[in-house]
Amino acid sequence: MPENAPSVDLSVVIATYNRGSQLRQVLDALLQQDARGVSYEVLVVDNNSRDNTAAVVEAVRVSDQSGRIRYFFEARQGVSYARNTGIAHARAPIIAIIDDDVVPVRDWAYSVKQAMDQYPEADCIGGRVLPVWTRPRPSWLDAAHWGPIALQDWPEPRWVNRENATNCLITANLTFRRELFHDVGLFSPAFPRNQDRELEMRFWRAGKQGLYLPTMDVIVDIPEERMTKRYHRQWRVTTGSYHAKLRFPDLVDGHGRLHDHEEGRRLLGVPLFMYRQCLGHLIGWGKAIVSNNANRRFYHESRLWYCASFFSTRLKTDVLPRFRLRRTAAIVETPSIPDLP
């Protein structure tokens, strides 16, 4: 925190890349908050945008003149770099991160501060991310497919910690206590995707805990391209690969508890329980074909894409390197045939 900087209750960090056309409505919503005495600042981190992002932020900042808007440029590409830059410059003890395409409801800032005060035992708190459909929602696109479109809307509060690590509080709308980053570290640039999952796994290992509340709402327009099966297939493929690299399923048991070491048996680098899950989805996919249930068929198909990507990544990262190492060792250790007299 800069010396002699004015203190605020809440710092809002927005990492943005080429979203100048949408950013104005996000900033306007933040500046028009019914904050009820909560003081806050908005840090916009331009992650090397090529559009008019800088001009949009400057126009809002000049017209507002409240001093709430602060602009930073981060040339290193990647949302983790951008968020870390914002966190480093934040002045408040509470740091909220939202995506550059969500619009906070009018009492969002007040709700964030109220939640953090009400639950001092929570190190981070996530709120709802609610959709605005830009065209009629396809019948197959139900809550089972919320992940690819970054929605979060559970009806009841839930704790997420070492004992309940299955859920991931998404960083489209997530608030942290500043000391959490001092204790555990920042976002990892090594994970361009699933950086929220990686960070939270470090949180829970360190004994921290998060909370989801069905409050602190933000709204997001769902683009038409995210309502396509092609987009959802690709998201599952990408997520499967990153989960394989994160070792995420290996470290969380069937009760949702996070362990420090991988447990259970493996085949070709994959935990055996994942073969059972994959088989279950394969059977479900076949039954949906027979019953002509297109929605259930795609549900199981999307999970099979995830499994295929996970298995393929583990083959590349776990099995093939050991095979090459053994092969190299065998070549080195094989004695040469002596010359005959």
Q: How far apart are CA 129 and CA 149, in angstroms?
A: 10
Q: Is residue 128 part of a domain?
A: yes
Q: Is residue 3 part of a domain?
A: no
219 plus 247 within the same structural domain: no
By three-state DSSP, how is residue 46 classified?
strand
Which residue among 202, 227, 252 closes a domain?
A: 227
Which residue among 184, 201, 227 closes a domain?
A: 227
Instruction: Give the model's pLDDT for residue 330.
Output: 40
99 plus 177 within the same structural domain: yes
27 plus 68 within the same structural domain: yes
Tokens of 79: 């949302």
| Site of tokens 């640039």 | 189
Which residue among 164, 192, 227 closes a domain?
A: 227
Fill in the amino acid letter for 304.
Answer: L
Here the CATH number for the domain that contains residue 52 is: 3.90.550.10
Instruction: Give the model's pLDDT for residue 75.
Output: 96
pTM (predicted TM-score): 0.89
Fill in the amino acid letter for 307.
Answer: C
126 plus 266 within the same structural domain: no
299 plus 204 within the same structural domain: no
Residue 307 lies in domain: 241-331
| Site of tokens 């933040």 | 30
182 plus 265 within the same structural domain: no
Instruction: Give the model's pLDDT for residue 336.
Output: 40
- Beta pairing, strands 40-46 & 10-16: parallel
Q: Is residue 209 part of a domain?
A: yes
Low-confidence ranges of the chain (pLDDT < 70): 1-6, 323-341
Q: Is residue 340 part of a domain?
A: no
Q: Is residue 174 part of a domain?
A: yes
Instruction: Give the model's pLDDT for residue 66.
Output: 85
CB 246 within 8 A of CB 198: yes
247 plus 195 within the same structural domain: no
Q: Is residue 300 part of a domain?
A: yes
* Other beta carbons within 10 Å of 167: 16
Instruction: Give the model's pLDDT for residue 340.
Output: 39
Tokens of 120: 């001092």
Closest CA to 72 of 93, 90, 51, 99: 90
213 plus 266 within the same structural domain: no
194 plus 270 within the same structural domain: no
Q: Is residue 172 part of a domain?
A: yes
Radius of gyration of the chain (CA): 23
Distance of CA 262 to the CA centre of its chain: 22
Q: How many domains does the chain contain in total?
A: 2
Instruction: Give the model's pLDDT for residue 250.
Output: 85
Q: Is residue 234 part of a domain?
A: no
- Each residue of 254-288: pLDDT tens digit? 778 888 888 778 888 898 889 999 999 999 999 99
Instruction: Give the model's pLDDT for residue 286.
Output: 98
191 plus 53 within the same structural domain: yes
209 plus 266 within the same structural domain: no
Closest CA to 111 of 27, 12, 203, 181: 12
Instruction: Give the model's pLDDT for residue 337.
Output: 39
149 plus 271 within the same structural domain: no
Q: How far apart are CA 143 and CA 13, in angstroms?
A: 28
Provide CB contacts within 8 A for 11, sequence distance 6+. Answer: 40, 41, 43, 86, 90, 91, 92, 94, 95, 96
